[in-house]
């Protein structure tokens, strides 16, 4: 996730671009840059936050320009790799958010034609492609350049040959137009320019637009000009950084169709029937794996438990999940085992200590994290990014689903290399993964039903979450979300364990949330619900769309799209996130900053 901005107007572009980038900083902040157009492209880039960029910013003249704040995915964090990128003739500047999947092929062919590359990013090819297609009209050049690109992108470009114009285009990544007075804007979201205008024109997938200080032109997928009306955004400035959502947590829950897409995209290929990571990661996953340890804390630990089910199911390799704070001092070290460390921030102190301990014991180490350049990525042998963008709500939401998916991809990768998964089976899994964003969106679209159930839970003193198999750790996560933001005592149990103790705590006023999937555990789960009902509590079942029986057993039912597959747990997690959010909201809790908790725990 990166943030991009374009401006054509009457103000000093310098100031507008810096201002807007600060608003987009939540989308990434490892490096940033701007290019202001005035006779030539005046470029200034810096590693670090926007503050750094602003500090020694030259006094560029000009009222047209582009800007970028980066969250690295391809290429290290460096000034060269920061955007904007220029074409070989230095006339065209571009900023890009997204991933160009065929960039190495494009780069090779452009190099042969004599184009000079000055960065390791996938994005730079776009600048050269635009130069190649340029024939006096920038929007046309962008249109034809992007025809050659596969992947997903939002880009903004300017050219010294057309000094008043800024061109934007998007496919699967966000870009909106801000319609101002004697000025117009492009931005990754409305926040970027809300200070200057609250009139917005939405750009659809596959469209290209050209703005000047006076007008806005939009071209559809066939490069035909279309008309579109402005809409007025009624957000408060304070709401704006939450994209209009009342809390960061809710915004981040609603980010998930996008973040889920980002984890998968570029890593799986339906056509090649393959799963790809970078070389270092692939080397780690290839060679003689006898066992795997996954080490993590809190929510990441629950993602790891889900990972255990997936890896064991798809590869047959035994997996031990350890809590970082325990693994530091106890447990076994084995040079032949791979230690996967899962940490959102890459800075969790207990996890870092566990990682160092593993490394010092000679284990191979792999980090799954959201933050490139974090301490964990520097210690481990290799790392995989969850690419979720910054998460601000203390309760992890989108990073949890992304962690599960990364672990799922690891399981698939090992499964393939151990010949445990056939091509057809892999095709089916990949197909299901690709459908996930749609399924998550389905849950979000029906969140009012979850709100209704939340009303039943809001006065409970204690709530049980039960599930079997992969749904056991999902139950743990459901309970964790509820307790950490609503302060209701909640516990997750393996459904079969209830009768071995927890039943003693079950009373008529203890609601039980049960995950019922149509797999081998279905009948057992129905039996467990029966046991629970016999003791009087209300049961809330999380069940598949086509489960027509479940109403007979449960008091309330929340549905998720049918799909008895490795990835079905993701929509269920989203239901639990929304459930916890609504309960906490009904109880008037401080959702983004629960008492006694911090986002990144850097103490022991």
Partner 1 sequence: MKCVILAAGEGKRVHPLTYTRPKVMIPIANKPILEWNLINAINAGIKDFIFVVGYKSEMVRSYFGNGEKWKVEIEYVNQGEALGTAHAIGMVKKFVSDFIVLCGDTIFGKEDFKNIIKSKNSIGLVKVEDPKEYGIVELEKDNVVKIYEKMNEPFTDIINGGIYHFSFKIFNYIHKTKKSPRGEFEITDSINMMIKDTKLKAIFLKEWRDVVYPWHLLDANEEILKKIDKKVDGTVEKNITIKGKVIIGKDTTIMNGAYIEGPVVIGQNCKIGPNCCIRPYTSIGNDCHIGNACEIKNSIVMNSSNVPHQNYVGDSIIGENCNLGAGSKVANLRLDKNNINVILNGKKINTKRRKLGVIMGDDVQTGINSMMNVGAIIGNKCFIGPGSIVRGEIISNSKIL
Q: Which residues bind partner 1 (CB under 8 A)?
A: 10-11, 180-183, 195-199, 232
Please indicate whether residue 2 is annotated as part of the active site. yes
Which of 15/90 has CB closer to partner 1? 15
**Cβ at position 200, least distance to partner 1 in Å:** 11
Are 405 and 263 in contact by the 8 Å Cβ rule? The answer is yes
- Which among 57, 61, 72, 66 is positioned nearest to 27, based on CA atoms? 72
Which of 180/467 has CB closer to partner 1? 180
Active-site pick, 2, 297, 363, 589: 2
**Cβ at position 14, least distance to partner 1 in Å:** 14
Which of 232/603 has CB closer to partner 1? 232
Which of 10/545 has CB closer to partner 1? 10
What distance in Å separates the CA atoms of residue 365 and residue 8, rounded to the nearest whole number? Answer: 48
Active-site pick, 217, 313, 434, 599: 599
Instruction: Tell me: cis bond preceding 495? Omega within 30 of 0 counts.
Output: no
CB atoms within 10 A of CB 214: 11
Q: DSSP 3-state assignment of 118?
A: coil
**Cβ at position 197, least distance to partner 1 in Å:** 6
Q: DSSP 3-state assignment of 73?
A: coil
- Report the interhelical angle of 298-315 vs 471-486 (nearest 10°): 170
**Cβ at position 233, least distance to partner 1 in Å:** 9
Q: Is residue 79 left, alpha or beta, with left meaning phi > 0 and alpha meaning psi from -120 to 50?
A: alpha
**Cβ at position 38, least distance to partner 1 in Å:** 14
**Cβ at position 185, least distance to partner 1 in Å:** 11
What distance in Å separates the CA atoms of residue 192 and residue 7, rounded to the nearest whole number? Answer: 11
Is residue 481 classed exposed, middle or buried when 0-12, 13-18 and 19+ CB atoms within 10 A define those classes? buried
Strand partners, 339: 293, 365
Which of 181/272 has CB closer to partner 1? 181
> Which tokens in the block code for residue 67?
């800007």
Which of 34/367 has CB closer to partner 1? 34
Which of 199/559 has CB closer to partner 1? 199
**Cβ at position 195, least distance to partner 1 in Å:** 5
- Report the interhelical angle of 447-457 vs 569-586 (nearest 10°): 50
CB atoms within 10 A of CB 202: 15
Burial 357-385 (b: 16+ CB within 10 A, else e): bbbeeebbbbbbbbbbbbbbbebbbbbbb
Helical (H) or strand (E) element with 208 = strand 208-211
CB atoms within 10 A of CB 438: 12
Q: DSSP 3-state assignment of 190?
A: helix
Which of 137/212 has CB closer to partner 1? 212
Cβ contacts of 81 within 8 Å, gap of 6 or more = 31, 70, 72, 75, 119, 120, 121
Burial 531-570 (b: 16+ CB within 10 A, else e): ebeeeebbbbbbbbeebeebeebbbbbbbbbebebbbbbb
**Cβ at position 462, least distance to partner 1 in Å:** 33
**Cβ at position 34, least distance to partner 1 in Å:** 17
> Which tokens in the block code for residue 70?
């980066």
User: Strand ranges (DSSP E) for 121-175?
Assistant: 151-159, 162-171
Which of 45/199 has CB closer to partner 1? 199
What distance in Å separates the CA atoms of residue 37 and residue 417, rounded to the nearest whole number? Answer: 50
φ, ψ of residue 12 in degrees (nearest 5): -65, 120
> Which tokens in the block code for residue 389?
């963008």
**Cβ at position 16, least distance to partner 1 in Å:** 8
Please indicate whether residue 569 is annotated as part of the active site. no
Task: Write the DSSP symbol of residue 27.
Answer: G
Which of 39/224 has CB closer to partner 1? 39
Which of 16/355 has CB closer to partner 1? 16
What distance in Å separates the CA atoms of residue 285 and residue 384, rounded to the nearest whole number? Answer: 12
**Cβ at position 196, least distance to partner 1 in Å:** 5
Report the catalytic residues.
2, 599
């Amino acid at each position: 996730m990166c943030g991009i901005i374009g401006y054509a107007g009457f103000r000093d572009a310098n100031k507008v671009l810096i201002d807007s980038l600060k608003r987009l900083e939540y989308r990434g902040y490892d490096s940033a840059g701007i290019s202001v157009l005035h006779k030539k492209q005046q470029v200034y880039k810096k590693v670090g936050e926007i503050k750094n960029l602003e500090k020694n910013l030259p006094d560029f003249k000009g009222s047209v320009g582009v800007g970028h704040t980066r969250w690295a995915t391809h290429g290290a964090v460096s000034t060269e790799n920061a955007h904007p990128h220029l074409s070989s003739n230095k006339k065209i500047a571009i900023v890009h958010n997204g991933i160009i999947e065929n960039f190495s092929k494009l780069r090779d062919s452009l190099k042969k034609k004599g184009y000079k590359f000055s960065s390791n990013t996938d994005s730079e090819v776009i600048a050269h492609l635009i130069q190649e297609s340029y024939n006096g009209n920038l929007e046309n050049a962008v249109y034809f350049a992007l025809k050659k690109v596969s992947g997903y992108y939002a880009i903004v470009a300017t050219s010294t040959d057309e000094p008043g114009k800024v061109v934007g285009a998007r496919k699967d990544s966000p870009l909106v137009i801000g319609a101002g007075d004697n000025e117009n804007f492009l931005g990754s979201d409305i926040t970027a320019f809300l200070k200057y205008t609250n009139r917005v024109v939405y750009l659809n997938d596959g469209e290209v637009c050209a703005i000047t200080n006076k007008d806005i032109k939009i071209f559809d997928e066939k490069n035909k000009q279309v008309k579109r009306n402005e809409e007025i955004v009624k957000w408060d400035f304070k709401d704006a950084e939450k994209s209009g959502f009342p809390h960061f947590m809710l915004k981040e829950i609603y980010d998930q169709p996008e973040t889920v897409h980002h984890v998968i995209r570029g890593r799986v290929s339906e056509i090649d029937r393959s799963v790809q990571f970078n070389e270092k990661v692939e080397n780690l996953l290839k060679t003689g794996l006898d066992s795997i340890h996954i080490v993590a804390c809190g929510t990441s630990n629950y993602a790891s438990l889900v990972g255990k089910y997936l890896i064991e199911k798809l590869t047959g390799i035994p997996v031990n999940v350890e809590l970082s704070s325990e693994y530091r001092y106890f447990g076994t070290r084995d040079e032949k085992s791979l230690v996967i460390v899962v940490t959102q921030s890459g800075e969790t102190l207990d996890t870092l200590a566990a990682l160092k301990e593993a490394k010092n014991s000679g284990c191979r180490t792999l980090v799954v994290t959201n933050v490139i350049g974090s301490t964990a990525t520097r210690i481990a042998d290799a790392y995989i990014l969850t690419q979720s963008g910054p998460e601000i709500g203390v309760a992890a939401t989108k990073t949890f689903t992304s962690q599960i998916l990364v672990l799922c991809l690891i399981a698939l990768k090992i499964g393939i290399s151990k010949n445990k998964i056939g091509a057809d089976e892999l095709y089916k899994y990949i197909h299901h993964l690709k459908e996930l964003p749609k399924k998550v969106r389905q849950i979000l679209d029906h969140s009012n039903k979850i709100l209704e159930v939340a009303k039943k839970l809001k006065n409970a003193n204690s709530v049980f979450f039960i599930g079997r198999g992969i749904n056991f750790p999902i139950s743990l996560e459901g309970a964790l979300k509820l307790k950490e933001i609503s302060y209701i005592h909640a516990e997750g149990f393996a459904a079969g364990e209830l009768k071995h103790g927890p039943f003693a705590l079950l009373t008529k006023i203890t609601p039980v949330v049960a995950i019922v999937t149509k797999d081998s555990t279905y009948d057992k789960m129905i039996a467990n619900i029966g046991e629970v009902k016999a003791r009087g509590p209300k049961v809330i079942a999380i069940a598949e769309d086509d489960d027509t029986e479940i109403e007979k057993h449960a008091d309330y039912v929340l549905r998720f799209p049918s799909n008895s597959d490795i990835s079905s747990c993701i929509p269920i997690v989203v239901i639990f996130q929304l459930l916890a959010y609504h309960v906490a909201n009904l109880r008037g809790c401080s959702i983004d900053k629960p008492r006694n908790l911090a986002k990144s725990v850097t103490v022991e």
